[in-house]
Amino acid sequence: MATQQLIGKSILLSREDTENRNLARHITDDGGRVFSVPLIERMDIDPADFWQWSRLVEEAEIISFQSVKAAKRFADLLGVPGDRLAGKRIIAVGERTASILESVGIPVSDVPSTHSAEGILAHLPADLGGIKVLLPGAADPRPELEVGLRSRGAVVTSIPLYQTRLPAEAERQIEQVPAPIHAIVCYSPSAVQGLFAVTACGNNRWLRGVPVVTIGKTTAETVVNLGLRLGAVAKGQTEMAVRDAILQVAWGGARSNGGDQTSAASDL
């Protein structure tokens, strides 16, 4: 429901316009102005040995997806799953990731209420001795989930399906964003790192003082660790949850860098 609570407020979104449509519509319906500057791009990686990749999928007892991109890329490579995933425990870090998997016929067993490595681990037994776990995802994943699984005795294999990098045009595009900006939305630690990189020079450095809205504890921690200003952590994965966090920040609800950061994690 539009409230016009964002009249006079400008919001910077760190994804492509095509990925921002629903959230951008909510912001503009509320009277706000939207700017989009992609701060990460994801490049597909093809398996070096497709036969070995297929064998790892078949042997895995648990497959865990930590991003929408990982789910999409896995589905593209797998094709029609048929009965190849029968009996496997499929874990999706959030609702959007689960939706992608289920749309191509991959049944999801678990979607943790806390969308993070911590939430995934909370859904699994303390003893995973000998259980084969497959982690399809980025070439440079955060280590928390793999470390946690190995500490419980799981046999963990990470499969790189894509790599992230800062878009070549990001710094030039960020220079064109007019002040003032009242909130910046970052969906992943990589996006926060991109924001930090493109605001290093004098012309863009003012953006480091703008509160950042995140989806998830891990992304929020990256904001704090890089010395940026944490605004709010959305209480969920939906566009409406992010919109509510933006409203909180735009009207003076930004928290300090020492504030509570225990909300949901990113689902990209």
| pLDDT-derived band at 265, boundaries 50, 70, 90 | very low
Is residue 260's pLDDT more than 50?
no
- Pick the more confident residue, 48 or 168: 168
Q: Which of 166, 168, 215 is nearest to 194 (CA)?
A: 166
Q: Of 58, 124, 66, give the one whose Cα is nearest residue 100.
A: 66
Lowest mean pLDDT among 12-16, 47-51, 160-164, 221-225: 47-51
Higher-scoring residue by pLDDT: 179, 252: 179
pLDDT of residue 14 exceeding 60, the answer is: yes
Closest C-alpha to 106, from 137, 60, 69, 72: 72
Q: Quote the pLDDT of residue 115.
A: 76
Q: Compute the average pLDDT of residues 238-256.
A: 81
Write down the pLDDT at residue 267: 52
Name the pLDDT band for 83 (thresholds 50, 70, 90). Answer: confident
pLDDT of residue 146: 96
**19, two tokens:** 């990925």
Q: According to the model, what pLDDT value does residue 203 have? A: 85
pLDDT attached to residue 264: 34
CA distance 47 to 35: 36
Q: Report the b/e string of 59-78 with b at 16+ CB within 10 A.
A: ebebbbbbbbbbbbbbbebb
For residue range 67-80, what is the model confidence (pLDDT) as tens digits? 889 999 999 998 87
pTM score: 0.78
CB 266 within 8 A of CB 187: yes
Provide the 10 A C-beta neighbour count for residue 132: 16
Q: What percent of the chain has pLDDT over 70?
A: 93
Specify the pLDDT at position 47: 85
Question: What is the per-residue pLDDT across 178-213, written as a single tens digit (0 to 9) for each?
Answer: 999 999 999 989 999 999 999 997 789 999 999 999
Per-residue pLDDT tens over the stretch 104-137: 899 999 999 887 888 899 989 999 999 999 999 9
Length of the chain: 268
Domains of the chain: 10-40+166-250 (3.40.50.10090), 44-164 (3.40.50.10090)
